[in-house]
Chains A and B, each alone.
Chain A
């Protein structure tokens, strides 16, 4: 972003990578897949790079409002400094925080989740899918992330993206507004679960596996980790893969 600003360019969108997208080895692949799609389509975009900081979502949800606001205000200053108008992110937590919680602190942007952005690209014919890729005709189930679904009522965009791949979308019993959490929200990602008789991600993975799907599609870095761990826990990682939507699209586009 800094580079583009120096050259007097103003990109169409700011791609908010997020901490998982920047640091998590598995999710970096998602970031790269999404960037490949953007490049292929020829979208002018920028990233903040080292100027990006955690949105503060886990701090706020763990109760540390000071830390949340410190992160948020710093991010807003950076984004407002670059006169950012439109933000796209592959993380529903970042999406929710920037979209719904930054306005109260002076950050007003149009915020779009990458599932919605991908759906637009497909609808506009900018992303042309071959539909003959490795997913063709296979059963795929989609796991709703809480912060995309219930929190922001985005249920259809990710499903439209999956359907565009010419696959058989199979739903879990608890889907859409009744979707079961992967267990990572509310800062749970960053601590061990409280005592109980089962891990939430195992409960959810069992439900996903019961659909007979060959792959579990997600749209959230935390869900990706939790579902992948769940599949490993069930020792099914060789047959059932967990993918982010952007990865599936990039694969189909052969990039």
Chain B
């Protein structure tokens, strides 16, 4: 028997591994364009969050129908990957269904389970395609999805359908060959779903069946490897990043906005409060707030790469619901797009961050930032704990403190607060007037 297929498999497998490694290194570098931020406290709570939210899909169940369709694909993805292990061993050693003799009857049971899951994936993917393209669920057809994002979503669903059809075709032809007593094929105790499509192939010759079986096998395994690489270019990256993303969740109350210690130091010095290390010159002239991705935290950029553009955030956003330009999903897509632009530029020896563009202005406008009510609906809605509000606040800080270009009415509010310690223009001495009114009332 020729070992050529094994050599080809080894080469494909090694190449896929190499490309994946390069892509992971690239993504890691892009994420680390963000500022460092330590989020390693409370490991117990972090594991728990990851198990519940990522592994357990807790937040998906706020919307029942997509949650059920999604969990079928998710379970299938995890379980069918066990079969991929067999594919790889078979590919490398030239064996065929290497686990079959070891598992005995259990092997047939496992294959039936895989087939049930393959059918579940088919059903879910078709349902998802219908939701996107026929029912046109509002959050799945918003303007920010026009072009590549919509194409990306449909491609993923179609690839998954094709991969599942390949598995079923492979099983159907393989079992036909086994039934005909061809050497090397293991007859299993009936595979429910693939037997249903056997009539399509039963009239073919042994040679044709072998060819189809082999083609389906190669198509499935090469397809999976190619898909793994494709995922790193796609919104579908959430299948891996959901885990670290939830582990590094913000565990503080959602209403709390991160303090800026640099500002505290200056404020304390202004107010004459003793400051530790006040004599040391500042290490570098820091920029207040975020203008570009390198001003954000690495967690913000990881959030962006974890986003699968489901739009639950945007569907819950009060600003978006009432027709404002802000869409939390677009904020995340913009951060990722800018990180991609900068990353590619750096790899090509280009200007990188110094390309004259920035996240603020070229991707996200002030109108979008100014529309946010900081209500945390987007944060609450995200199934993988992405925090668009953190990015919006950091960018507002840049606009307010570096550009001084907040809306005029906010400037007036700032001025009132500076002069009369209230956002409204009232005399601070009038703060207690309500009590006088109360006393007068009681006297009456």
Contacts and interface: CB of A to CB of B under 8 A. Distances in A.
Interface stretch (A122-130, A192-200, A209-217, A229-237): A192-200
B251 interface: no
A153 B372 CA distance: 20
Interface stretch (B102-110, B191-199, B298-306, B409-417): B409-417
Interface stretch (B7-15, B44-52, B397-405): B397-405
A82 to B, nearest CB: 16
Given A63-B396, A146-B376, A193 B417 contact: no
Contacts of A160: none
A101 B252 CA distance: 11
A22 B319 contact: no
Contacts, number: 227
A54 B441 CA distance: 27
A71 B431 contact: no
A63 B372 contact: no
Contacts of A62: 396, 400, 406, 410, 413-414
Given A151-B255, A178-B316, A65 B423 contact: no
A145 B377 CA distance: 11
Given A63-B393, A184-B373, A152 B255 contact: yes
A177 interface: yes
Interface in A190-208: 190-200, 203-204
B367 interface: yes
B17 to A, nearest CB: 43
Given A61-B257, A194-B325, A23 B410 contact: no
Contact of B289 (A35, A53, A63, A188): A63
Contact of A59 (B367, B376, B417, B437): B417
Nearest to B404: A64
Interface string B287-322: 011000000000000000000000000001011011
B409 A192 contact: yes
A52 B271 CA distance: 17
A146 B422 contact: no
Residue of B319, B326, B417, B430 with highest tally of chain A CB at under 10 A: B417
A49 interface: yes
A100 B250 CA distance: 14
Given A28-B434, A146-B375, A183-B318, A53 B253 contact: no
A185 interface: yes
Interface stretch (B28-36, B139-147, B258-266): B258-266
B407 interface: yes
A50 interface: yes
Nearest to B403: A63
Given A60-B257, A152-B255, A65 B374 contact: no
A24 B321 CA distance: 29
B370 interface: yes
A146 B325 contact: no
A23 B426 contact: yes
Nearest to B320: A196
Nearest to B317: A181
B148 interface: no
A67 B16 CA distance: 53
B22 interface: no
Given A64-B401, A73-B267, A146-B375, A54 B256 contact: no
Contact of B428 (A50, A96, A100): A50
A96 B255 contact: yes
Given A66-B401, A150-B375, A23 B422 contact: yes
12 contacts: A19-B424, A32-B437, A59-B413, A63-B400, A65-B397, A146-B255, A150-B376, A150-B377, A151-B255, A184-B373, A192-B409, A196-B371
Interface of A: 17, 19, 21-24, 28, 31-32, 35-36, 47, 49-50, 52-54, 56, 58-67, 69-71, 73-74, 77, 96, 99-101, 104-105, 146-147, 150-153, 177-178, 180-181, 183-200, 203-204
Interface of B: 62, 252-257, 259-260, 263-264, 266-268, 270-271, 273, 288-289, 316, 318-319, 321-326, 367, 370-377, 379-380, 393, 395-401, 406-407, 409-410, 412-414, 417-418, 421-424, 426, 428-435, 437-438, 441
Given A17-B434, A181-B377, A193-B322, 7 more contacts: A17-B431, A22-B434, A63-B397, A177-B380, A194-B319, A195-B323, A196-B323
